[in-house]
């Protein structure tokens, strides 16, 4: 295998999963990550269906389960904090035979990084500044200086992927705005009840707070409706906080108290709810994986699932195709696109952020119905088994 030098931009869920599998298949992998260190905490992400099989094959499922947020349920409250309706999260988990796991994004990213780091070169605090492809490889210029040579480059650098922008064009061509913005930040534990998610709604606005069973801090989760996109630099955190305060001005419950703590979290995150739609996830020797290629939106609940499975499939197809990366990328697209199309159709924005008081009332009535809990446990979800890829001769096991 001669096309074995791979650069991955991004050390998140998709990037480290891809790095792990490629290194297992004998590739020489370097991961470049803009941040100086791995993030901690963050929002909860779901590991379910085929994603469970991916982490099992990595030997990580028990570690993932040990770090589960272990949510009991979701409670929708009124302005006084009184519960109007509840969702039994444990009943939903039983519908998947009890194997679905919710884990903090930062915890999952750390587990994946730790599994890969002994066989992978990680470079933190750096970023790809320029790419130049020729017939024999890709010259990569890093912001820290110097140029390195790789056979393949993969962008796993999120919805605002710089690799995608350099190779495929501006993000406006591929992002579909879902008319909502969301924010996540840490708050004092007193605002959250362990293992419960509490949400307060006003028309077009949702303020939520939750605390995982294994966490000493709570997290605020806010979402608001916005018909037209806001104008700001997505790296300007002060502007993001200002937009959030403006969107929730005058909101009830404990919203204003939670907003006051947004400035204290250095990992405060704010962005539009968007999906990424691309006609192809590769061009020449460059491919994309995870949110950079097919973000389904946080309200799909499928971000981690698509990143884990997509990275596994891409690595497997690269191993199967050996030196023909074009064939590998084509096979990856063909094998995984149907799953992406399905997940991008499954959005729950209307349930989380009803647009009117009548819609809020109807949602609450619906979830008070015992029929909902009964339906959740009727038929366990069955995931199609993952393809088992074979490592090339001489690769590490």
Q: What percent of the chain has pLDDT over 90?
A: 65
241 vs 194, residue with greater confidence: 241
Q: How far apart are CA 43 and CA 64, in angstroms?
A: 15
Question: What local confidence, expressed as pLDDT, does residue 304 receive?
Answer: 92
> How far is the CA of 63 from the CAs of 67, 107, 114, 209, 217, in angstroms?
6, 10, 11, 25, 21
Q: What is the pLDDT of residues 255-306, one digit of tens each?
A: 999 999 998 888 899 999 999 999 999 999 999 999 999 999 887 778 899 9
Question: What local confidence, expressed as pLDDT, does residue 81 receive?
Answer: 92
Q: What is the pLDDT of residues 92-150, one digit of tens each?
A: 565 555 678 888 889 999 999 999 999 999 999 999 999 999 999 999 999 999 899 99
Query: Which whole number is the average pLDDT over 333-348?
Result: 91
DSSP state letter for 114: H
- Whether 200 shows a pLDDT value over 60: the answer reads yes
Question: What local confidence, expressed as pLDDT, does residue 303 receive?
Answer: 87
Question: What local confidence, expressed as pLDDT, does residue 340 receive?
Answer: 95
Number of neighbours of residue 145 by Cβ within 10 angstroms: 8
391 vs 172, residue with greater confidence: 172
Q: Mean pLDDT across the chain, nearest whole number?
A: 89
Q: Into how many domains does the chain fold?
A: 1
- Whether 370 shows a pLDDT value over 70: the answer reads no
- The answer to whether residue 149 is domain-embedded is yes
- The answer to whether residue 64 is domain-embedded is yes
Q: Which among 164, 103, 85 has a CA at the least distance from the CA of 367?
A: 85
Question: What local confidence, expressed as pLDDT, does residue 366 receive?
Answer: 85
Counting every residue written for the chain, the total comes to 397
153 vs 235, residue with greater confidence: 153
Residue 209's Cβ-count burial label (10 Å; 0-12, 13-18, 19+) is buried
- The answer to whether residue 136 is domain-embedded is yes
Question: What local confidence, expressed as pLDDT, does residue 349 receive?
Answer: 84
Domain range for 297 is 5-69+100-175+275-347
- The answer to whether residue 366 is domain-embedded is no
Number of neighbours of residue 334 by Cβ within 10 angstroms: 10
- Whether 369 shows a pLDDT value over 50: the answer reads yes
Phi/psi-derived region of residue 26, left when phi > 0, alpha when psi is between -120 and 50, beta in every other case? left
Window from 17-21, 237-241, 262-266, 348-352 with minimum mean pLDDT: 348-352
Question: What local confidence, expressed as pLDDT, does residue 212 receive?
Answer: 75
CATH code of 131's domain = 3.50.50.60
- Whether 181 shows a pLDDT value over 80: the answer reads yes
Question: What local confidence, expressed as pLDDT, does residue 379 receive?
Answer: 44
- The answer to whether residue 164 is domain-embedded is yes
Question: What local confidence, expressed as pLDDT, does residue 137 receive?
Answer: 94
pLDDT band per the 50, 70, 90 thresholds, residue 378: very low
Q: How far apart are CA 328 and CA 321, in angstroms?
A: 5
Neighbouring residues of 165: CB distance < 8 A, sequence distance ≥ 6: 171
Q: What sign does the CA torsion over 225, 226, 229, 233 have?
A: negative
Beta bridge partners of 182: 223, 271
- The answer to whether residue 390 is domain-embedded is no
- Whether 222 shows a pLDDT value over 50: the answer reads yes
- The answer to whether residue 168 is domain-embedded is yes
Q: What is the pLDDT of residues 66-90, one digit of tens each?
A: 988 877 888 999 999 999 988 877 6
- The answer to whether residue 222 is domain-embedded is no
pTM of the full structure:
0.91
Q: Which among 174, 188, 128 has a CA at the least distance from the CA of 7?
A: 128
393 vs 25, residue with greater confidence: 25
């Amino acid at each position: 295998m001669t096309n074995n030098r791979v650069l991955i931009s991004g050390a998140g869920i998709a990037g480290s999963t891809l790095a792990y599998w490629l290194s297992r298949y004998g590739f020489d992998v370097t991961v470049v990550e803009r941040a100086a260190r791995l993030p901690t905490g963050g929002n909860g992400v779901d590991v379910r269906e085929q994603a469970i099989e991916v982490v099992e094959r990595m030997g990580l499922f028990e570690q993932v389960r040990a770090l589960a947020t272990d949510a009991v349920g979701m409670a929708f409250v009124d302005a006084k904090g009184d519960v109007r309706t509840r969702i039994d999260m444990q009943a939903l988990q039983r519908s998947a035979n009890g194997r679905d796991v919710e884990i903090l994004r930062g915890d999952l990213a750390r587990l994946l990084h730790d599994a890969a780091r002994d066989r992978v070169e990680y470079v933190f605090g750096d970023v790809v500044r320029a790419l130049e492809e020729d017939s024999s490889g890709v010259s990569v210029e890093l912001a820290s200086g110097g140029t390195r040579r790789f056979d393949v480059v993969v962008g796993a650098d999120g919805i605002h992927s710089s690799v995608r922008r350099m190779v495929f064009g501006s993000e406006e061509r591929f992002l579909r705005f879902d008319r909502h913005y969301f924010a996540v930040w840490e708050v004092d534990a007193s605002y959250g009840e362990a293992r419960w998610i509490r949400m307060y709604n006003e028309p077009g606005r949702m303020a939520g707070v939750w605390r995982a069973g294994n966490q000493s801090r709570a997290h605020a989760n806010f979402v608001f409706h916005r018909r037209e996109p806001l104008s700001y630099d997505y790296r300007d955190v002060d502007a993001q906080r200002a937009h959030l305060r403006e969107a929730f001005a005058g909101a009830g419950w404990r919203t204003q108290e939670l907003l006051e703590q947004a400035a204290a979290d250095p990992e405060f995150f704010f962005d539009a709810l968007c999906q990424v739609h691309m006609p192809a996830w590769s061009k020449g020797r460059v491919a994309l994986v995870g949110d950079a290629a097919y973000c389904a939106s946080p309200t799909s609940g499928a971000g981690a699932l698509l990143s884990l499975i997509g990275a596994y499939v891409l690595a497997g197809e690269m191993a199967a195709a050996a030196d023909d990366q074009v064939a590998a990328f084509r096979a990856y697209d063909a094998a995984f696109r149907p799953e992406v199309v399905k997940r991008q159709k499954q959005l729950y924005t209307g349930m989380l952020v009803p647009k009117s008081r009548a819609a809020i009332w109807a949602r609450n009535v619906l979830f008070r119905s015992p029929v909902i809990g009964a339906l959740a446990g009727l038929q366990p979800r069955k995931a199609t088994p993952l393809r088992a890829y074979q490592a090339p001769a001489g690769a590490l096991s």
